[in-house]
Chains A and B, each alone.
Chain A
Amino acid sequence: MTRDKKVLSLAKRLVEMSREGGIVTEAGVSEVLAGIKKIKPRRELLLLKTYLYFIRKAVAEQTAVVATPGALGKDTLAAIETQFSALYGRTIHAVIEENPSLIAGVRIRIGDDVYDASVAGRLKRLAESVR
């Protein structure tokens, strides 16, 4: 992560340009990358690394990674997207990540926030509460 203010500012503007309807889309990112390749700005590599960092952060913030040991119903995923979109005030897209160690239940990660409703998590909290 660079400390160059110009690079940071330009990367953030490029991330905003990558959004379509407030959501970072593949098409938007491709369009921005094509523009960078065409313009060839100064410190291109540093700019690309910074842009990648902010894109990953933006994607993580708009994606609800739902970890679960098995499959979930579509209604469940839709409910998650609806509720968390309402909570964060932006469109949240849910994706499933299989994790058998959870035993049962779900663990949802949105950006740096984690919501745990898994059996493994509950058991862990139970064990920690005994200390």
Chain B
Amino acid sequence: MKKILWSFAAFTLLSGGLFGADPAASASGGPISEIAGQFGVNGHTLIVQMLNFGLVGAALYFLAVKPVAKTLDERQQKIADGLQYAEEMKTQLAEAERERAEKIKEAAQEAQRILTEAREQSKEMIEKKTQEAAAQAEAILRKASEATELERQKMLSDVRQEVARLVVATTSTVLTTELSDADKKTFSDAAARELAGSVN
């Protein structure tokens, strides 16, 4: 816009130079004056018109063109700001996208690490539990074996005692019925002498 205004002003000045700068030349009948005369150009009128045009142009410039230009500049600035903001937003979005991707990648790596650790821990726990179960099974088997052995020993002892009791009872009964009084006396005398002899 400013370029247009400056072009107009330059044209005006050039025009003034062409047609109003040398009225004497025009009166003297130079080629330019002749041409201006042929076209009906009056130098004084032209100057006044140029001044009038300059005043109108200045008024237009300061009252209309300049505010419009200011508004346009502001709008241009706003657009530029908007574009810059959009560019920044785009950059920030790209940065956010990059950070998001990075965080997703880190999260995936962390998840993978946790998963690996969990697998290792679960594997260790399975091995530990397996060993514990094996130890418990072994202990149970050992206790069962010991209990069986104890039970067997107890049964053997019970059988021995029962057999001994039966043998003693049978022997007592047989000896009581079979031994005569003379036999008993003979045995008692021998036992008493043996006992008396053994104490010294």
Contacts and interface: CB of A to CB of B under 8 A. Distances in A.
Interface of A: 66, 68-73, 76, 79-80, 82-84, 86-87, 100, 103-106, 108, 115, 117-120, 123-124, 126-127, 130-131
| Interface-centre pick from B176, B192, B199, B200 (highest chain A CB count, 10 A) | B192
Contacts of A73: 185, 189
Interface string B175-200: 11001010111011101111111011
Contact of A87 (B161, B176, B193, B200): B200
Contact of A127 (B157, B168, B195): B168
29 contacts: A68-B188, A72-B192, A73-B189, A79-B193, A83-B196, A83-B197, A83-B200, A87-B200, A103-B172, A103-B175, A103-B184, A104-B183, A104-B187, A104-B188, A105-B191, A106-B188, A115-B199, A117-B191, A117-B194, A117-B195, A123-B168, A123-B171, A124-B168, A126-B168, A127-B161, A130-B161, A131-B157, A131-B160, A131-B161
| Interface-centre pick from B172, B175, B197, B199 (highest chain A CB count, 10 A) | B199
Interface of B: 157, 160-161, 163-165, 167-168, 171-172, 175-176, 179, 181, 183-185, 187-189, 191-197, 199-200
